[in-house]
Amino acid sequence: MSKQQRAKLVVGNWKMHGRLAANATLLRAIAQGAGELPAAVRVGVCVPSLYLAQTQSLLEGSPVVWGVQDVSAFTHGAYTGEVAAPMVSDFGAMFAIVGHSERRAYHRESAELVAVKTQRALEAGLTPIVCVGETLEEREAGSTEQVVGAQLDEVLEKLSAEEAARLVVAYEPVWAIGTGKSATSEQAQAVHAFLRARLAAKGAADVPLLYGGSVKPDNAEELFRQPDIDGGLIGGASLKDRDFLAICKAAASVAG
Ligand code: PGA
């Protein structure tokens, strides 16, 4: 099977958006739309953890899977305000995003902390979506590969090959997140090929590699057509059912 024929994965990252009533409308629409997609596209949503129970009750029995946007580096204990990975698992979740650039920047999460969170997610049976990405300054300085390589290596060093094979990795250039300025498909593919080689060296070449950063209905297909882009991590456009489902359809049009 050629790389172009890999299954695609499209995951919404709601960030700190949503309220009970709006969530219900959005989740029902996504569940219905996803039901009409071919099996080669898997759809997920990562919601604020407070809404996990609601998400589980609305999505159970649908083809859509769900998850959270962060987990604690600890399994339990006196860590006020934290949510532990096993708690997330209690609600039937599949995914935990770890190392999103907003957490690295605004919550001072180090590469090492991201690696520990990845381990906690794996131990709890979750699939970590490990985010890596460079800032505009880093790209302009020509250090993109060095930055994303170091971010990925920090995680891979702590994992066995079997554990590494259970990851999803998302390349999200910081300058493309929420800016409306997506990476070009060539820029994204180049970094994905680099990440793929790093993962292959660890024996985890088949890890799904998602692109994130201003993916919209009008650029999704071109991005997803790239041989090493296995889908997308979608922020702003995942909050509108029509846009999100249009992106899922774009994935379907290029999925094997
Ligand atoms: P965006 O966010 O699609 O709004 O750019 C992507 C992300 O941060 O995961």
Q: How far apart are CA 74 and CA 80, in angstroms?
A: 11
For residue 4, the model assigns a pLDDT of: 46
What's the whole-model pTM score?
Answer: 0.97
Q: How many CB atoms lie within 10 A of CB 238?
A: 27
* % of the chain at pLDDT higher than 70: 98
Distance 173 CA to ligand 1 centre (A): 10
What does the pLDDT look like over 155-200, one tens digit per residue? Answer: 999 999 999 999 999 999 999 999 999 999 999 999 999 999 999 9
What is the model's pLDDT at position 5?
55
**Cβ count near 178 (within 10 Å):** 12
The Cα–Cα gap between 9 and 41 comes to 6
Ligand 1 and 55: CB distance under 6 A: no
Cβ–ligand 1 contact at 178 (below 6 Å): yes
Distance from residue 236's CA to the centre of ligand 1 (Å): 6
Give the angle subtended at the CA of 71 by the CAs of 26 and 136, to the nearest 5°. 80
What's the pLDDT tens digit per position in 76-87? Answer: 999 999 999 999
Q: Atom 2 in ligand 1: which residue has the minimum CA distance?
A: 235
Domains and CATH numbers, the chain: 8-254 (3.20.20.70)
Among 100, 102, 109, 134, which one carries the catalytic annotation? Answer: 100
Quick: pLDDT tens for 51-106: 999 999 999 999 999 999 999 999 999 999 999 999 999 999 999 999 999 999 99
What are the beta bridge partners of residue 66? Answer: 45
User: What is the distance in A from the centroid of ligand 1 to the CA of 148?
Assistant: 17
192 in active site: no
Q: Binding site: which residues? A: 13-15, 178, 214, 235-236
